[in-house]
Chain A
Amino acid sequence: MSFAILFLIMSFVLPEKQKTTVYLIGDSTMADKEVKAYPETGWGMPFHYFFDSTVAVDNRAKNGRSTRSFIEEGRWKPVVENLKEGDYVLIQFGHNDEVPTKKSYTTPEQFTANLVKFVTESRNKKAVPVLITPVARRKFDSSGKIEETHAIYTQLVKNVAAKYKVPLIDLDQKSQELVQQFGPDNSRYLYNYLAAGENPHYPEGHKDDTHFSELGARKMAEIVLSEIKNLNLDLAHHIRVVHQKEKK
């Protein structure tokens, strides 16, 4: 009887305490989408599916945000407040920071300072920050070679990672390799390209070289996951283990 009671109490106390939260902070390339924007897909959406029950993914990324507007709108503060020891903060900004004509523009100095803020405040709560360089845009030169579209801001992320010894996922580089592998034509499949009349959410069709289709988002999430393994983060031990049956 007392054993049963103990068991009952444990079942209420234990799981919550042990669950690790992986916060995603970033922009539209990472964000969860509203149904009316489908099939546009942020890579944070398929990223939800990769972990075992000890991990919860909390995707706080938002369309159009830079490090500066993310902080100014009070989106960072609730993340810090909820962080507990052992949680992760995956940080991917740049697309909206680096464009001087955008309202969200963040100077290189400010971008660096904001990344340092995310890192320091995560560590103050004994959480693990992970820096991610901004995922590639689809842009090829005339010879069919992919072009770097985040040169300056990717370098700033790398600098902060080196200086503060933060685990780094060079998603810019890795995603460029993937997009190059698909090539100038086929890489359209990775992005949100729709013919006119194809999809009710985009009646006039759509050509987007920044935001992903379901396919592109999943491929990007797979890259991030594989880099988590390569970094040998403890989180890698909580990737779902599936014993796949051999095909008949």
Chain B
Amino acid sequence: MIKPGLKKTLFVCLLGLVSFTLPVKKHTNIWMIGDSTMCQYDSSRFPLTGWGMPFAEYFDSSVTIKNEARGGRSTRTFISENRWQKVADNLSAGDYVFIQFGHNDEAKNYPDRYTPPEDYRKNLIKFITESRDKKAVPVLITPVSRRKFDSSGNALETHEAYSKIVREVAAQMNVPLIDLDAMSLKLLQTFGEKNSTLLFMQLAAGENPDYPLGIHDNTHFNAYGARHIAELVLQGINDLHLELSDRIFKKS
């Protein structure tokens, strides 16, 4: 026979134990820094969709996506406009920083965006070091492929120099790497030259009221393409066995 008082104490102890053993996931943020291929768009520009938009729909409630990516930004302008500082100031231990730049860094014909290779490298290292200073986890992502095929229907590498730098920095600093350039290039090859247009902002004149003149864009994705790219990044998280992969939505 256990005394009623003792019974109560036992119950409280048990409750305390359970609350420690149940896998209560600590809340985490995924900060996304990058360019127009990743960013959020207003519905007035639909079907234009950054891959960060559908990406946000595949996590459990312990994750908040903070998509800070902005169109037209290179690593250099993202820093000079103080956008990085704002992210760094708000990082918590255990947060993730997903880094995908390159499209604008490599654009020599846009001097206001262009970042020479060595500066690009330094800027990536800055993102990594300052994330780690805040005990956040940086993840490097090579720039998603543009749609470019040769005359025999082979999808062509479009970020050769800058993707290589991302891979080198990842290896050198032991940073988890998602080689989205390679993965998306493979996706484009699977779709083929003609069908891959279905992934991009390709609209006939008069088809969609937001683009009355039509549009033929081989860089920016529509909702369908952005989701396919998001699927590749989710797959990359799983392949890396990041703790984050336990927070990807699981069908119960």
Contacts and interface: CB of A to CB of B under 8 A. Distances in A.
A176 B182 CA distance: 36
Contacts of B223: 46, 214-215, 218
- Most chain B CB inside 10 Å of its own CB: which residue of A200, A225, A226: A200
A102 B122 CA distance: 63
A50 interface: yes
A203 B251 CA distance: 8
B116 interface: no
Given A189-B195, A215-B223, A36 B249 contact: yes
A197 B236 CA distance: 12
Contacts of A247: 215
B234 A200 contact: yes
Interface of A: 35-36, 38-39, 46, 48-50, 186, 189, 197-203, 213-215, 218, 222, 225-226, 239-242, 244, 246-247
Contacts, number: 73
B227 A242 contact: no
A199 B231 contact: yes
A215 B224 contact: yes
22 contacts: A38-B54, A39-B224, A46-B46, A48-B43, A49-B43, A49-B46, A186-B195, A189-B195, A189-B198, A189-B224, A199-B231, A200-B58, A200-B234, A200-B250, A200-B251, A201-B249, A201-B251, A202-B251, A213-B224, A225-B209, A244-B210, A244-B213
Interface of B: 43-44, 46-47, 54, 57-58, 195, 198, 206-213, 215, 222-224, 227, 231, 234-235, 248-251
Residue of B58, B198, B208, B215 with most chain A CB atoms under a 10 A cut-off: B208
B216 to A, nearest CB: 8
A226 B251 CA distance: 38
B198 A222 contact: no
Contacts of A244: 210-213, 215
A215 B222 contact: yes
Contact of B207 (A39, A214, A215, A222): A222
Contacts of A213: 224
A59 B163 CA distance: 44
Contacts of A49: 43-44, 46, 210
Among all A-B residue pairs, the 9 with the closest Cβ atoms: A215-B224, A214-B223, A49-B46, A214-B224, A200-B249, A244-B213, A200-B58, A49-B43, A239-B209
B25 to A, nearest CB: 16
A76 to B, nearest CB: 28
Given A35-B57, A38-B227, A50-B209, 14 more contacts: A36-B249, A50-B210, A186-B195, A189-B198, A189-B224, A197-B235, A199-B231, A214-B222, A215-B223, A222-B208, A226-B206, A242-B211, A244-B210, A246-B213
Contacts of B195: 186, 189
A126 to B, nearest CB: 27
A36 to B, nearest CB: 7
Contact of A240 (B44, B207, B231, B248): B44
A200 B248 contact: yes
Nearest to B217: A247
Given A215-B223, A222-B208, A242-B211, A39 B251 contact: no
A215 B43 contact: no
A241 B213 CA distance: 12
A39 B54 contact: yes
Nearest to A48: B43
B46 A242 contact: no
Contacts of B198: 189, 215
A29 B207 CA distance: 21
Contacts of A222: 207-208
